[in-house]
Amino acid sequence: MKKLINSPATVLADALRGVEAAHPDVSVDYANRVVSRGADVKQGRVALISGGGSGHEPLHSGFVGLGMLDAACAGEVFTSPTPDQMLAATTAVDAGAGVLYIVKNYTGDVLNFEMAAELAAAEGIEVKSVLVADDVAVEDSTWTAGRRGTGTTVLVEKIAGAAAEEGRDLAAVHEIATRVSENGRSMGVALTSATVPAVGKPSFDLPDDEIEMGVGIHGEPGRKRVSLRPASEIAEELVSSILADLDFSGAPVIALLSGLGGTPLIELYLMYGEVAALLEQRGITVARALVGDYITSLDMAGCSLTLLRADEEMLRLWDAPVNTAALRWGV
């Protein structure tokens, strides 16, 4: 295993030091492993919290800031954060208008965020949760009942964050977050496995001439292993799988082509070119696009495609100012 780390046991703690050093506008609670906005909490605004296992950066800590998350709870690599962490984040950022939890559909995350919501309620903080389960590859998975939650999470965080920034109440922020979650679909492909630092070897074996179509962001098995093939054919499979699951016709689409951590930007743009051409052929209009590393899987090579069937309100909230480490415009 070749990684820029000190020891497998300190990866998360050491990385959080770097986040705080690079971004003076966020603050890090090292005891609870919570990254939150450094600025004073704005009274009366709904607060947004997400979190999950580490190894998917910039998700979630890179999305903390104006117009997006108020706090991110970082678990150990590929391990859910605990209810205690989530509660600490909740009490830190609640501004009296309630808190929205944005939860990717992995059993540990779901259970722990549910428990945290109960603990928060006991302290008088109203919490609602939105579940993201957008990965069309498979039903049920290694750590998931139902579908896994992947790239749509980024879009929920952005759009619901903008809604909260506008001063909408918790019910309204929850409503639009749910609408985004329900209208987003994703699928990924792995060219290599990731290596979890504490394990020290690749999570799965993938022959040199094979790829895993529909892989999960922790290396969960996808739909099938197929031979390595041209990017155009891989794009065709991702696009057609997503379009078979939801009708995207007639709506503006927000597209996210995310790298999985080990794939360079030149390949991501190349893949996005294929995706854009396929969508255009099918008469689907991409209104906004993001290409880069937004939801990753450590050093896994590959990418994931997320398409959101958006509407004018979502586009307006998408375009609203955002000021985070990984997504920034309008400010």
**Positions marked active-site:** 56, 218
For 23-38, give one letter per residue: b (16+ CB within 10 A) or e: beebbbbeebbbbbbe
Please report how close the Cβ of residue 5 comes to a copy of itself at its closest, in angstroms.
6
Q: Whose Cβ is closer to a copy of itself: residue 15's or residue 115's?
A: 15
Please report how close the Cβ of residue 195 comes to a copy of itself at its closest, in angstroms.
10
Residue from 269, 282, 313, 316 binding a copy of itself (CB under 8 A): 269
Q: What are phi and psi of 41, to 5 degrees?
A: -65, 135
Q: How many CB atoms lie within 10 A of CB 268?
A: 18
Calpha distance 158→161 (Å, rounded): 5
Strands (E), 105-194: 127-132, 184-190
Q: How many CB atoms lie within 10 A of CB 166?
A: 15
Q: Whose Cβ is closer to a copy of itself: residue 59's or residue 242's?
A: 59
CB 34 within 8 A of CB 73: yes
* Residue 273 binds to a copy of itself (criterion: CB under 8 A): yes
148's CB contacts (< 8 A; 6+ apart) are: 104, 105, 106, 133, 134, 135, 137, 138, 141, 216, 217, 220
Residue from 277, 285, 312, 313 binding a copy of itself (CB under 8 A): 277
Q: Whose Cβ is closer to a copy of itself: residue 135's or residue 293's?
A: 293
* Residue 54 binds to a copy of itself (criterion: CB under 8 A): yes
Please report how close the Cβ of residue 20 comes to a copy of itself at its closest, in angstroms.
8
* Residue 272 binds to a copy of itself (criterion: CB under 8 A): yes
Q: Whose Cβ is closer to a copy of itself: residue 152's or residue 258's?
A: 258
Residue from 253, 261, 306, 324 binding a copy of itself (CB under 8 A): 261
Residue from 45, 53, 57, 130 binding a copy of itself (CB under 8 A): 57
Q: Segment 173-212, which members bind a copy of itself (CB under 8 A)?
A: 191-192, 208, 211
* Residue 289 binds to a copy of itself (criterion: CB under 8 A): yes
* Residue 75 binds to a copy of itself (criterion: CB under 8 A): no
Q: Would you state the torsion angle of the CA atoms of residues 248, 321, 178, 33, taken in this order, to the nearest 10 degrees?
A: 130
Binding mask 217-256 for a copy of itself (x = CB under 8 A): -----------x-xxx-x----------------------
* Residue 265 binds to a copy of itself (criterion: CB under 8 A): yes
* Residue 70 binds to a copy of itself (criterion: CB under 8 A): no
User: By CB under 8 A, how many residues form the interface with a copy of itself?
Assistant: 64
CB 89 within 8 A of CB 71: yes
* Residue 302 binds to a copy of itself (criterion: CB under 8 A): yes
Region near a copy of itself per CB under 8 A, out of 105-113, 153-161, 266-274, 311-319: 266-274
DSSP state of 325: S
In the complex, which residues of this chain contact a copy of itself (CB under 8 A)?
Answer: 2-7, 11, 14-23, 54-55, 57-58, 62, 77, 191-192, 208, 211, 228, 230-232, 234, 257, 261-274, 276-277, 286, 289-291, 293, 296, 298-299, 301-303, 328-331
